[in-house]
């Protein structure tokens, strides 16, 4: 994402702060649970543009993930400090919740929604245990244990074929968390963590990639190259 001059940044911040009265109280509660209870570093995302939900409030007119990414503050500001989280969502109560993946936080493997739905149904029939799954209207993300770039590279190199529709959210990446509202629609749990649990259990990336690639290459489950 391109950096913008100070004046444009101030205008952007003013637009975001002007939405203080349009907040959703469940967002701050969820953000505090992620940060203080589960120790997942989070930060507020850029809300969808009020003039059109498919547009983003960031300066990029062709933003491909409207409202579902960090901008001001940047990704490095993600924190588990409940005081900072409370301050952010008190001032920007409608902001999407963005998880900074990697490090000690979960990573994610995402794929198009329709293919993900079919793949999960197949994995359920096989009895595979999955962790939390995040669903948006366009893509679903399966949370996995943190992995390194080297680990992921070795895993993918060993495969004969990896669908181009798969995306990997590791160190330096991010995903929007429920119950955020982005320019692509509502973000929800397709597989929710157990209520009241400590940091949710997530599987290793190897098991998930092996199972998802196998499912996607089967007839009737293949995903578009998105």
Alpha-carbon distances of 169 from 55, 172, 181, 198, rounded to whole Å = 23, 8, 20, 22
pLDDT band of 116, cuts 50, 70, 90: very high
Task: Give residue-wise pLDDT tens across range 157-179.
Answer: 998 888 888 999 999 999 999 99
Task: Give residue-wise pLDDT tens across range 196-215.
Answer: 667 899 999 999 999 998 88
**The predicted structure's pLDDT at residue 19:** 42
CA distance 42 to 175: 10
Checking if the pLDDT of 106 tops 50, the result is: yes
pLDDT band of 67, cuts 50, 70, 90: confident
Query: How many other C-beta atoms lie within 10 A of the C-beta of residue 6?
Result: 7
């Amino acid at each position: 994402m391109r950096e913008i001059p100070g004046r444009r940044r101030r205008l952007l911040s003013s637009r975001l702060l002007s939405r203080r009265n349009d907040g959703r109280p469940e967002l701050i509660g969820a953000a505090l649970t992620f940060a203080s209870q589960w120790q997942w570093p989070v930060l507020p995302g850029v809300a969808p543009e009020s003039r059109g939900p498919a547009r983003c409030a960031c300066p990029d007119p062709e933003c491909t993930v409207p409202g579902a990414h960090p901008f001001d503050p940047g990704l490095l500001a993600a924190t588990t400090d409940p005081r900072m989280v409370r301050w952010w969502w008190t001032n920007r109560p409608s902001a999407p919740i963005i998880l900074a993946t990697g490090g000690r936080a979960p990573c994610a493997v995402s794929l198009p929604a329709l293919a993900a739905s079919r793949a999960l149904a197949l994995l359920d029939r096989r009895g595979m245990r999955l962790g939390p799954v995040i669903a948006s209207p366009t893509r679903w993300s399966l949370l996995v244990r943190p992995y390194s770039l080297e680990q992921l590279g070795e895993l993918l190199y060993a495969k004969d074929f990896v669908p181009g529709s798969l995306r990997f959210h590791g160190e330096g990446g991010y995903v929007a968390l429920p119950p955020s509202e982005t320019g692509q629609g509502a973000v929800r749990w397709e597989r929710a963590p157990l209520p009241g649990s400590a940091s949710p259990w997530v599987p290793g990336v190897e098991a998930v990639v092996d199972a998802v690639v196998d499912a996607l290459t089967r007839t009737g489950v293949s995903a578009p190259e998105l």
